[in-house]
Amino acid sequence: MRLRDLRDVFHTDDSDAKPGSARVSQTSTSQPRSTVLPSVTETLASQADTSSFHYSPIRRHDLESRDCEIRLLTLHPGTRNDEIKCSLHVVSLFNCPAYEALSYAWGDPTPTRYDILLNEKTFSLARNLSRALPCLRSTTEPRTIWIDAICIDQTNLEERGSQVMIMRNIFSRAHRVVVWLGGYTEADDFLAPRIALGFDAEGKSA
């Protein structure tokens, strides 16, 4: 075998080899690729995505043909200090179970947000509504209620616009409208059940 052939076999590098010596470089072998583990940021983002509530779309908005959908909230029973647990369902406005509609002031949505469980996922409320729900909740029976901040996807401008257009129908078809005045402090907790006033479809106090 010629010298050149030997160099090709052993991959001899003559640039830094000492006289009379040969440096043999190891040839790379094919190894299976190692699995790339997700970063902490990706893991947290994935967890946040699975733990936060996401709306299912409302697909029908045709009021004239009575083909119109809304969402109704079921407020599950619990005591005053229990975690708020709710479920949300898409129903036909003209073929749905009896429900109440809540009228209240949103207030400033920025400070102190409060988390509830909505369809077993985390959902954040502004302060005023977070004070209302514990007082509206029954200790023994589920309560079906329409609340705009929850029943309308506020991040979906198209849906929000279409639902606002039928809000008059939503309130008129409710078997009772509940007015939340709010404004109490923790020292006034004994007044809270008396602040939520209920009115039926004829405007009579319930």
pLDDT tens figures, 109-132? 664 678 999 999 999 988 889 889
DSSP annotation of 17:
P
Half-sphere exposure of 95 (CA within 13 A, CB side): 5
- For residue 114, the cross-strand partners are 125
In a domain, residue 161? The reply is yes
In a domain, 11, yes or no: no
Asked whether residue 32 is domain-assigned, the answer is no
User: What is residue 109's predicted lDDT score, i.e. its pLDDT?
Assistant: 61
Residue with tokens 């029973």: 77
Domain assignment of residue 4, yes or no? no
Is residue 116 in a domain?
Answer: yes
Model pLDDT for residues 140-173, shown as the tens digit of each residue? 999 999 999 999 999 999 999 999 999 999 999 9
Measuring CA to CA, which residue among 147, 129, 108, 134 is closest to residue 192? 134
pLDDT, position 161: 92
User: Three-state DSSP class for 117?
Assistant: strand
Does a structural domain hold residue 6? Answer: no
Is residue 124 included in any domain, yes or no?
Answer: yes
pLDDT above 90 coverage of the chain, percent:
45
The answer to whether residue 14 sits within a structural domain is no
Dist CA 116 CA 93 (whole Å): 25
Please, where are the H alpha helices in the chain?
A: 3-10, 40-51, 127-136, 148-151, 157-165, 167-173, 192-195
Parent domain of 126 = 50-200
Convert 90-102 to b/e letters by CB count within 10 Å (16 or more is b).
beebeebeebbbb
The number of folded domains in the chain is 1
